[in-house]
Structure formats: structure tokens, C-alpha cells
Amino acid sequence: MIDWSRVRELREEIGADAFEEVLDLFLEEVETALAVLRTATTEDDLGAQLHFLKGGALNLGFAAFADLCADGEAQACAGARDSVDIPGIVSGYETSRAAFLAGIAEGIAA
């Protein structure tokens, strides 16, 4: 679900303080993007939001969430907007976020 090696790599690259800032920004931006997903009116809007979410998720090691976003993006870009499982993507984020925060609290990414 979480690519802990990516998390450790990013933390080492940018330092612990900057990592905390990046994480806070990511979590804020995801909440905003998820709200936009729920109201996206075109395949392009939906695909763009999912692409954005996928990139941020990959950067921070949210592997399972990134996969959900990639699948949704592919469906949106293929014109199958109604096939995109937005509730599943939101649920996947919430599960990934909980696992990530629990792992951070346990020192897994340290």
C-alpha cells in the first residue's frame, strides 16, 4: 500500500523538516483535488485531477492510491467518465493516508 523505501528516499533527499512541509502540503492538496473530483464535469477535468493526484501519490509513496488514480485517469481519458470509481478512489486515499500516518507514527519511515 505504501512504498516505504520511496518515503525514506524522499525524506533523506529533502530532510526531515522539508519532508513534513511536503507531507502537509500534499495532504491539503489531495483534499482539495478530491473535492474537485466529485464535481468534475468533463473527462478532461477528471483526468487532469487524477493525473495530479497520481503524481503526488507516487512522489510520497502512496503506491496503492497512485494505482487507483492511474486506473481512473485511463478511464477518463478513454471517455468512460462514468466508469471512474470516485468513491473507491476516495476510500483508497483514506485507507492509504491512515496507513501512512500510522507508519510514520511507528517510525517505519525513519
- Taking the domains of the chain in order of start, what are their residue ranges? 4-105
pLDDT at 109 (0 to 100): 60
Instruction: Give 79-101 pLDDT, tens digit per residue.
Output: 898 899 999 999 999 999 999 99
Domain formed by 4-105, architecture = Up-down Bundle (1.20)
pLDDT at 45 (0 to 100): 87
Instruction: Give 30-80 pLDDT, tens digit per residue.
Output: 999 999 888 887 888 899 999 999 999 999 999 999 999 999 999 999 989
pLDDT at 105 (0 to 100): 87
pLDDT at 40 (0 to 100): 81
Question: Between the CA of residue 34 and those of 6, 90, 101, 105, what are the distances in Å?
Answer: 23, 7, 19, 25
Separation CA 28–CA 13 (nearest Å): 22
DSSP state of 82: G
